[in-house]
Structure 1
């Protein structure tokens, strides 16, 4: 009897080509009798167990992903929020010699403590510390101790430069008192040129130096204000009297006091810069720094005002010179710390007001225009000719002080140049 043919469905299906590359639990030998334990007889298939000498290994299942989908969920937003800020301000971070300069630069670009909170930092200073630590700097970057040491060793040089205007002015006043006629005129001209040169040297060294931050027109406005302090009151008095007829009187005393006050002004500027820098290092927030810097600025201005008042008492007190000295100090502080445009505008406004006062008196001589000279005439009759520069320079100094209190209390005003 011929056995019936077996059902062809019992045969194992052939493995596809792609499965040939997948690792298997065990290898199937060509000969089923070579110790594989796999029985393909009609009784059924028996899967092999692990060999005693070889532990069974189960490969990890491959990740199956649908077409067009990522195996991992996409992140929303950058994982490192500081990285974008670091690249945006990389030049600032590379040239900074300490984290304080980075904090000042960030504050100048509008980064506040609230902005720093979005970068997972409590304030701008901690954010600047991370940027300083993460951005590499070249070996040629200057070090802070070297700069501070150079500034400390050079204080004698800028102190002598600050004393030069006072010395030149004192010699000129002495020469004017001992001479007369053409010689006196020559001494006055030489003294004026020497004083201008000494002032130029004094403001180019030390705490009054504002390298690359000046407005050229500010020199013209400063010279005008100093010239008015020398002879403006006499010119106004002579103009109100119908003149001037020939030379009008000059008062060198206030100008001498202003020249002598250049050295105290330089030391007050140094005091403010040093104290503000220390406050910047100790502060942990922009508001904290501003609150601690404003009293330092007011103290420096008050100290200079007291010293100037004492010098003017010795050389010839004039309220206009006192107000002018305060105005010039505030203007220079703003220029030194990076705000020369505002300082120059305020000096120009003071010059325009003094020129307008003189022009209104001259315009009042025109028939029917007497009212134009009435305000100045009334002011001079009540308080004297010195009331005009006192009112003009005093008002400008108050406005500049309010602006400086808000501006110089920012960390960005104390970045190292």
Structure 2
């Protein structure tokens, strides 16, 4: 009997051994059976497929695969940073608050300065908030593994936040024949600055991180207790929607509070739509789904830029009709309709995508590759 015949005979008698041979790298690297179950699902193995390997579900099959691999020399699984009494460390818990605190200080400086000092305060404030946000994104539930490829979404995100600051004011000025000057950092200049949405979004980073952490922790617990992929998905979907609703509720409360303190109009729909879009995009990226956020963020930013461009292009001879859609939209619902519709539609697309992807067991295995 040849070696090939022997392997075929053994694989037919022991199908799990053949499966172990095909997914040996996954089984060797796994730190627990849950990671194997998630990896098998990512390779298209379902509970129905597991029945062909004489197991009732993928989780049971993963437990046998895990038990068959010797692990005497394996390192212990990684654990989150904790103090000696088992609680999460204070820096990890408080770091998400830093972007909001520095943004509040920057907005206060803008309101207390004038002329060149205001320009200097704006530059320092933007730099400080950017560095704080970068530090916060490197740790905690909204961080991504360092070895994972990071798509070029920073430019699109900066555009969307910049539009929240200046876009509505510029669009209104453009429709009425302006602007007649550059923005002066206030809400009553030629090019009004809307500081409340940006400040509320910065303050909402902490609720976003905590909501994402709750969802991730719930998913890992359900992976340990679920006895089937459908069972896991059914429990993960409400947790995802709950975390999303929790973040939106916190953002709405912060918007109301900040608008009252700064005495600015309550731009609730547009800011909520932008916050929902950024939260879902980051949550998908954290779990390895980078393609959809990159495409959706870029399309949204381009749509907003196009709306502004058509208003200015309509001033050229023979191109007056270009601004008709934007003019009609803003006359009916105001300049805030543009970010509300663009960000709202984009957030809805990502929410549907998240409900399909983040409720799969394979989305919660450690060190996922970009999808």
After TM superposition, the score normalised by the length of structure 1 is 0.79
Q: Is the 8 A contact 1:95 1:141 kept in 2?
A: no
Q: Aligned pairs, how many?
A: 342
- The equivalent of 1:182 in structure 2 is 116
Match of 1:345 in 2: 295
- The answer to whether structure 1 residue 94 and structure 2 residue 94 are counterparts is no
Paired position in structure 1 for 2:285: 335
Partner of 1:407: 357
Distance 1:155 1:342, change over 3 A: farther
Cα distance in 1 for residues equivalent to 2:87 and 2:10:
55
User: Which whole-Å CA distance do the structure 2 matches of 1:153 and 1:255 have between them?
Assistant: 32
- Between the aligned partners of 1:287 and 1:122, the Cα distance in structure 2 is 13
For the Cα contact (< 8 Å) 1:166–1:256, is it kept in 2? Answer: yes
Partner of 2:247: 304
Q: What residue ranges of structure 2 are gaps of 5+ in the alignment?
A: 1-7, 183-190, 260-265
Instruction: Give the corresponding residue for 2:214.
Output: 271
Aligned-residue Cα RMSD (Å) equals: 1.7
1:364 corresponds, among 314, 321, 328, to: 314
The structure-2 alpha-carbon separation of the partners of 1:367 and 1:106, relative to structure 1 and needing over 3 Å to count, comes to: same
Residue 375 (str. 1) matches residue 325 (str. 2): yes
CA distance in 2 between partners of 1:332 and 1:307 (Å): 17
Question: 1:279-321 CA deviation, whole Å, 9 max, x = no partner?
Answer: 1111111111111110100000001000000000111231211
Offset at residue 163 of structure 1 (A) = 0.7
SS at match of 2:44: coil
How much has 1:149 moved relative to structure 2? 6.5
Partner of 2:49: 115
CA contact (8 A) 1:213 1:339 kept: no
* 1:163-242 to 2 correspondences below 5 Å: 163-211=97-145, 212-242=147-177
Aligned equivalents of 2:65, 2:221: Cα separation in 1 = 21
- CA deviations on 1:253-272 (whole Å, 9 max, x unpaired) are 11000000000000000000
Q: Output the CA distance in 2 between the equivalents of 1:122 and 1:330.
A: 34
Residues 95 and 136 in structure 2, CA contact (< 8 A), matched pair in contact too: yes
1:284 to 227, 246, 256: 227
Q: Which residue of 1 aligns with 2:345?
A: 395
Show the counterpart of 1:133: 67
The CA distance in 1 between the partners of 2:219 and 2:89, in whole Å, is 18
- In 1, the alpha carbon distance for the partners of 2:154 and 2:296 equals 13
SS of aligned partner of 1:206: coil
* TM-score for both structures, normalised by structure 2: 0.88
Query: 1 or 2, which has the higher helix percentage?
Result: 2
8 Å CA contact 1:203, 1:209 repeated in 2: yes
Larger Rg: 1
Task: Answer 1 or 2: higher relative contact order, Cα 8 Å, separation at least 6.
Answer: 2
Q: Could you tell me whether the CA contact under 8 Å between 1:215 and 1:344 is conserved in 2? A: no
1:42-81 pair list within 5 angstroms = 78-81=12-15
Contact 2:81/2:89 (CA < 8 Å) preserved in 1?
no
Specify every segment of 5 or more residues in structure 1 that has no aligned partner in the other structure, as ranges: 1-73
2:97 is the counterpart of 1:147: no
